[in-house]
Amino acid sequence: QTVVTQEPSISVSPGGTVTLTCGLTSGSVTTSHYPSWYQQTPGQAPRMLIYSTNTRSSGVPDRFSGSFLGNKAALTITGAQPDDECDYYCVLYMGSGISWVFGGGTKLTVL
Amino acid sequence: QVQLQESGPGLVRPSETLSLTCDVSGYSISSGYYWGWIRQPPGKGLEYIGSIYRGGRTDYNPSLNSRVTISVDTAKNQFSLRLSSVTAADTAVYYCARLQLDFDFWGQGTLVTVSS
């Protein structure tokens, strides 16, 4: 069974740059997985930040960007702000079996 | 603006069936997209449950497949989730969402507790 992997937790200093990754326990993440990224603050529904690897959703600041880093999808936050401290999830489209698989999430701390 | 709103009982007895409905406004379900359910146990991550296309084609998480049924009512512009034989492990916030290759619009979520 393929699992989508994310760093459980990451810290960044205010104003700093941080990269979160989204990988597979077997194989590489590619454009065919249509990686998407979601931000979730406590008690709220997830909000889509990035879709199809690197396209920002409407209203998302350009300090959030998506890309590939090696064999993983990546979310980079440039100029981290205190409000960015929350959980981030990636989702991969698997196409068959289970069509969509969420990563375990990354808890980002800004301090 | 597309809006989704979950509704249903907040407490379900063990072994019974969990039933939730998602009302959609701002977009006609019959126009396209998949419409799905995602859940999040307290303090844990998100899990894809399943989805349905306007014509009734469904896609279920294999780990829940035998217990899940998702249906759509295009006349009411809503879709529903039924999860049978629930246990405490099914306690979670349940979200409905619009999806295609990603999940672009989400409901606010509803907490369902499984307890006697």
C-alpha to C-alpha distance for B14 and B6, rounded to whole angstroms: 21
Phi/psi-derived region of residue B62, left when phi > 0, alpha when psi is between -120 and 50, beta in every other case: alpha
Q: Determine contact: B103 vs chain A, CB below 8 A.
A: yes
**Cβ <8 Å between A100 and B47:** no
pLDDT at A1 over 80: no
Residue B45 forms contact with A (CB below 8 Å) = yes
Q: Chain A: nearest CA to B73, how far in angstroms?
A: 23
Check pLDDT > 80 for residue A18.
Answer: yes
**A99 → closest Cβ in B46, B59, B104:** B59
Per-10-residue mean pLDDT of chain B, 116 residues long, equals 96 98 96 94 96 88 92 95 97 96 95 97
Distance from CA of B52 to the nearest CA of A (A): 12
Residues B17-34 pLDDT 10s: 999 999 999 999 999 899
Count of residues in chain B: 116
Q: CA of B17, closest CA in chain A: separation in Å?
A: 23
pLDDT at B55: 75
For the stretch A44-69, pLDDT in tens is: 999 999 999 999 999 999 999 999 99
| HEC assignment per residue over chain A | CCCEEECCEEEECCCCEEEEEEEECCCCCCHHHCCEEEEECCCCCCEEEEECCCEECCCCCCCEEEEEECCEEEEEEECCCHHHCCEEEEEEECCCCCCEEECCCEEEEEC
Rounded CA gap, B49 and B39, in Å? 7
User: A48 and B47 in contact by Cβ < 8 A?
Assistant: no
* Bridge partners, A88 (sequence order): A39, A106
pLDDT grade, residue A28 (50/70/90)? very high
Per-residue confidence (pLDDT) for residue A4, from 0 to 100: 96
> What pLDDT is recorded for position A96?
67
Residues of A engaging B, defined by a Cβ cutoff of 8 Å: 34, 36, 38, 44-48, 51-52, 57, 89, 91, 93, 97-105
pLDDT at A99 over 90: no
